[in-house]
Structure 1
Amino acid sequence: FGQQHFRENVPSQPDDLFAIIYTSGTTGLPKGVMLSHSNLLAALCSVYYENEEPPGSRIISYLPLAHIMGILIEGFAIRIGCSIGYFSGDQNRLLEDVQVLQPISFPSVPRIFNKLYISIRAATIDAPGEEGEMARRAYQRKLTHFKKTGELKYEEWDKLAKKKIGDILGVNVRSLICGAAPLSEDVVEFLRVALGVVFVQGYGQTESAGTGARVLIGDLITSHVGAPSSCLEIKLVDVPSLNYYSTDKPNPRGEICLKGASIMKGYFKDEKKTKETIDKEGWLHTGDVGEIDDRGCLRIIDRVKNIFKLAQGEYIVPEKIETVYINDPLISQIFVFGDDRQSSLVTIVIPDRENFISWANQIVGGLDYETLVKNDVVVNELLKRLNIHGKNNGLNG
């Protein structure tokens, strides 16, 4: 049949469409992001030059290829000759798969790292009684040592942690890589110190083929998402409605705009939305507000859109509130709603089932999920926790 219907091979051209990846963003219907072969190659080259994964190592693949990070992980592995191990298909067994594969680095998303954070804390510094007290003292000493020296090994804590959690990510893992969304500073610091590994964060969007900014190896500061990716430029545009200006002191602030070889061709069958997102000069307007610190690193501080007033005239950015609280490992989903005729907000919170049960049972003990979410003591403790988390992350309450 092939001989009878022969077709010449047509090599892909740089501007040919590679994939349409759907992203829901934060509002509205899913949008089809059209990425060309050159978009993907630019992103992969950026990832390649910014990482230090040795050839011949192993990496685990569990994110779907409908997710830009899943594509970048596999593309990067192929580029450096890295073995790819595919997980069993059961998210609940992911850590078991990691222990079998023994990867050198573990790229993942905030949800997985939050689960890891809760489970390690529960077994160590949040444990009851004398064991918990010993773990807290050992962790604090290692944290102090790390901040003074930058060293990730500390015998007292490392022995205790190995006894309590074993080699939870295998014996070879040297780095954790978080993409998709910024992770809480507390989670980054704890996992880095508790596991004794390098922790790297990045920032990007599907519209920029996953690129944007990335923390450099050796940077120990956790409050930012790094310097611009090597394949693009970043600029900040004034947002007068939120009082953010690129002339602000000491740090310029504004909407994050990206421009470079990894920026999408546009949205599939949506020219209007494409023109709203990419301006005439080729800058992709992300909708995120950032600031550039004195080291040239980017920090995400707000969102541009979806602003409303409450009855007393207070401006509310629900996405900002949601972003703060979703970084608490106990929270799986959150929705913030407000009405300009009312003086307060309404919020619907869906706990992360596994993390919530582990945390709540330390308070009341021995109850199932359905009972715990209705328990007044647990609910009040969760509200206290979220209030503290909000204030620590700049919310006024």
Structure 2
Amino acid sequence: MRIDRTFDLLENLRLNHEKSDILVAKREGNWVKFSTEDYVRNARNFAFGLLAMGFKKGDKIATVSNNRPEWNFVDMGMAMVGVVHVPVYPTMGDEDYRHILSHSDSKMLLVSDLPTYKRLFPIAKKIGKLRKVYTFNHYEDVPNWTEVTREGFNAKIKFRDQFDKVSASITSDDLLTIIYTSGTTGLPKGVMLTHRNILSNIEGVENLYPLDESDRILSFLPLCHVYERMVNYLFQKKACSIYYAENLGTIAQNMAEIKASAFATVPRVIERIYDRIVSKGEELRGFKRMVFFQSLKLGEKYRVDGKHHFWYGLRLWLARKLVFSKWQKIFGGSLKFVISGGAALQPRLSRLFFAAGMPLMEGYGMTETSPVIAANHLSEPNSLLIGTVGPTLKNIEVKIDEDGEILVKGPSVMKGYYKDTKNTEEVLEKDGWLHTGDIGTFEKGRFLKITDRKKEMFKTSSGKYIAPQAIENLLKESFFIEQLMVVGENEKFASALISPNFEYLHVWANDHRIQFRDNQELVTHPKIQKLFQKEVNQYNKSLGKTEQIKRFRLVCEPWGPGTGELSPTLKLRRRVIYNKYADLLRDIYSYAPDQENRGSIKFNDV
């Protein structure tokens, strides 16, 4: 059937793919399955409930929730009657919540649980347009989303004609959703995406990866993020069974339980899984330990074109039998491929997972392009090059501007920013070309390579440009480095703030009999300082003279969205980090306590 609106995906499932486990969630230790019939019934009842409550086409509803089948029920229900879905991260600060709920003109808010309800209800109460706040989980004396579905069920006959009329009036160019970009600075901007935007992106990627209704997908990236949301629709178009992970800490366990065929991820999740695997390897002794780490080194030299000499192939066969087969079991033993996006993926990890028999491929996109712009894949020859984000999609145009910026044009490009003409005009030209803000090049004529963010590049005092992301991604290959931020704008040399991988560092410290009371004492220990200097020196060999990290400082805490150093999509929030570690930055460049740095970002610029 023809699919022009997202809710046509649901109708396609109803007509052609009746399944008992189209959406699945784990609750109280058991996987709870929802059939295609359950999905259709709940979505339609929610849609009728909205009509009964007086919602009109173009009204807005916000959700703040974990991944769950109910998210899909309300998402499809809204789409059926033209109500615009505003999905919001559960990890945002109160200021961002106030801004989004007010700016989006949301009239209803749905949240996952009681703690979120208690946090957001006082904020919602002060926003005039918000009528009601509901929870997905059931609690006594707290409004629940099923109140809407019950009202819809009871009002079906009364609103049947209105439902049919509104659904029929919705076109592919109607607004489907407003997704607020988390950003690294300033308040979030609302990206307006239509049905056509999302569905054209699905069309651009659907033939790149082998999936069908026999496949099981594990979903754990937030559905409020455009990347997971688009692939969530893609999996539904392919009639895959979608299992929602309990939380980020249970990914490996859930993957093994369901024997997942594929999943979408961000590099940080892969890095953490890899770190845990390496930690297990560190516990081995003797011959087993030697074989484990030799297998890692072997895997990092893997060539995806298969052009290996006989001796390498023999050693790889042995490594797969002795080591990598155990990795496959960790992932459930049925994994076809993994797609990584959202940030730069370390090339060595991609090679290593390919060597282990689990293709790990990188793609690239942004919220404003619904999101995928380019992606590595194996569906045709010469479509994968590790170290790049792959060929661009066939249904969009991509070019490199004179200053190196990547520009995109096509059906997946957003309508604009909601109620923000100024920012829209800054990035979206009248002829349809979107300025991504990313700097890139084409390798071998067709593989897009991202080199940095346009606004994050800086000059040293000698006038040399430095692209911090490339350097940061290189140094994060170290087992000991969790996150780092390269600094040095208008300074004589580049330096870095480093947040160590404390889980790995604690093991190393204990093995070397280093006594410490806390992380503050640990990072100042001379042996730890010497260890990190050795790591930095090693990676500096791969960098140009002006790019090399001349000085660094270790911080004593991990960085994350909850503490503000990372955005919800795990990107560095550079201004926050500048402000938080002002004293360390002054110390690096020998500034007096009352001095500012020479760069354009002031230490106290919040």
Give the match's secondary structure for 1:134.
helix
Is the Cα contact below 8 Å between 2:340 and 2:361 reproduced in 1?
Answer: yes
Q: 1:192 aligns with which of 348, 354, 364?
A: 354
1:30-49 alignment runs, 5 A limit: 30-49=188-207
How much does 1:351 deviate?
Answer: 3.1
Is the Cα contact below 8 Å between 1:215 and 1:227 reproduced in 2?
Answer: yes
One-letter amino acid of the counterpart of residue 170, structure 1: G
Aligned residues with identical type, % of pairs: 31
Is the Cα contact below 8 Å between 1:209 and 1:264 reproduced in 2?
Answer: yes
- Whose radius of gyration is greater, 1 or 2? 2
Residues 137 and 306 (structure 1), Cα distance of their counterparts in 2 relative to 1, 3 Å cut: closer
How much does 1:206 deviate?
Answer: 0.9
- Deviation string for 1:265-310 (max 9, x for gaps)? 1112211111111112211111111111225111112332244444
- Structure 2 residue 407 is the aligned partner of structure 1 residue 215: no
How much does 1:258 deviate?
Answer: 0.8
Q: 1:94 aligns with which of 251, 255, 259?
A: 251
Give the match's secondary structure for 2:431.
coil
Query: Equivalents in 1 of 2:158, 2:205: separation in Å?
Result: 43
Residues 173 and 384 (structure 1), Cα distance of their counterparts in 2 relative to 1, 3 Å cut: same
How much does 1:55 deviate?
Answer: 2.6
Residues 230 and 126 (structure 1), Cα distance of their counterparts in 2 relative to 1, 3 Å cut: farther
The residue aligned with 1:292 is 442
How much does 1:104 deviate?
Answer: 1.1
Gaps of 5+ in 2: 1-51, 53-154, 550-606
Is the Cα contact below 8 Å between 1:108 and 1:176 reproduced in 2?
Answer: yes
Q: 2:290 aligns with which of 133, 137, 156?
A: 133
Residues 232 and 326 (structure 1), Cα distance of their counterparts in 2 relative to 1, 3 Å cut: farther
Residues 14 and 117 (structure 1), Cα distance of their counterparts in 2 relative to 1, 3 Å cut: same
Is the Cα contact below 8 Å between 2:302 and 2:352 reproduced in 1?
Answer: no
- Deviation string for 1:343-375 (max 9, x for gaps)? 345533323444554565555578786254343
Residues 320 and 275 (structure 1), Cα distance of their counterparts in 2 relative to 1, 3 Å cut: farther
One-letter amino acid of the counterpart of residue 57, structure 1: D
One-letter amino acid of the counterpart of residue 148, structure 1: H
The residue aligned with 2:171 is 13
Is the Cα contact below 8 Å between 1:278 and 1:285 reproduced in 2?
Answer: yes
The residue aligned with 2:329 is 167
Q: 1:275 aligns with which of 425, 441, 445?
A: 425
How much does 1:30 deviate?
Answer: 1.8
Query: Equivalents in 2 of 1:38, 1:381: separation in Å?
Result: 52
Residues 126 and 86 (structure 1), Cα distance of their counterparts in 2 relative to 1, 3 Å cut: same
Is the Cα contact below 8 Å between 1:102 and 1:173 reproduced in 2?
Answer: yes
One-letter amino acid of the counterpart of residue 217, structure 2: I
Question: Which piece of structure 1 moves more, 137-146 or 328-337?
Answer: 137-146
Query: Equivalents in 1 of 2:336, 2:314: separation in Å?
Result: 10
Is the Cα contact below 8 Å between 1:117 and 1:190 reproduced in 2?
Answer: no
Residues 361 and 264 (structure 1), Cα distance of their counterparts in 2 relative to 1, 3 Å cut: farther
How much does 1:382 deviate?
Answer: 2.5
- Structure 2 residue 384 is the aligned partner of structure 1 residue 232: no
Query: Equivalents in 1 of 2:525, 2:346: separation in Å?
Result: 27
1:1-397 alignment runs, 5 A limit: 2=155, 7-9=162-164, 10-11=166-167, 12-89=170-247, 91-124=248-281, 129-138=286-295, 147-148=307-308, 154-161=316-323, 167-193=329-355, 195-217=356-378, 219=383, 221-239=385-403, 254-325=404-475, 330-338=480-488, 340=490, 342-345=491-494, 347-357=496-506, 370=519, 372-392=522-542, 395-397=547-549
Query: Equivalents in 2 of 1:115, 1:381: separation in Å?
Result: 21
Relative contact order higher in (CA < 8 Å, ≥ 6 apart): 1
Question: Which piece of structure 1 moves more, 112-121 or 230-239?
Answer: 112-121
Question: Which piece of structure 1 moves more, 34-43 or 365-374?
Answer: 365-374
Query: Equivalents in 2 of 1:359, 1:220: separation in Å?
Result: 36
Give the match's secondary structure for 1:187.
helix
One-letter amino acid of the counterpart of residue 81, structure 1: A
Normalising by structure 2, what TM-score?
A: 0.56
One-letter amino acid of the counterpart of residue 216, structure 2: R
Query: Equivalents in 2 of 1:279, 1:360: separation in Å?
Result: 54
Query: Equivalents in 1 of 2:266, 2:385: separation in Å?
Result: 19
One-letter amino acid of the counterpart of residue 175, structure 1: F
Gaps of 5+ in 1: 240-253
Query: Equivalents in 1 of 2:218, 2:444: separation in Å?
Result: 36
Normalising by structure 1, what TM-score?
A: 0.83
Structure 1 vs Structure 2 CA RMSD:
3.2
Query: Equivalents in 1 of 2:325, 2:515: separation in Å?
Result: 25
Give the match's secondary structure for 1:42.
helix
The residue aligned with 2:585 is none
Query: Equivalents in 1 of 2:336, 2:315: separation in Å?
Result: 12
Residues 153 and 48 (structure 1), Cα distance of their counterparts in 2 relative to 1, 3 Å cut: farther
